[in-house]
Amino acid sequence: MAGSSVSSIRNLGPSSEAEFARAGIHSAEELHAMGANAAYAMLLANGARPHFIGYYALVMGLQGRPWNDCKGKEKEDLRRQFDGLVSQVRADPHSAPTGIEAELDRIGTGLKRSKT
Greater pLDDT, 21 or 90: 21
The whole-model pTM stands at 0.77
pLDDT digits (tens, 9 = 90+) for 4-34: 999 999 999 999 999 999 999 999 999 999 9
pLDDT digits (tens, 9 = 90+) for 30-86: 999 999 999 999 999 888 899 999 999 999 999 999 999 999 999 999 999 999 999
| Extents of the domains making up the chain | 6-106
Q: How far is CA 11 from CA 25, 35, 60, 97, in A?
A: 16, 15, 8, 26
Look up the CATH architecture of domain 6-106: Orthogonal Bundle (1.10)
Task: Assess contact for 64 and 10: CB atoms under 8 A.
Answer: yes
Helices (H), 46-107: 52-62, 72-91, 99-106
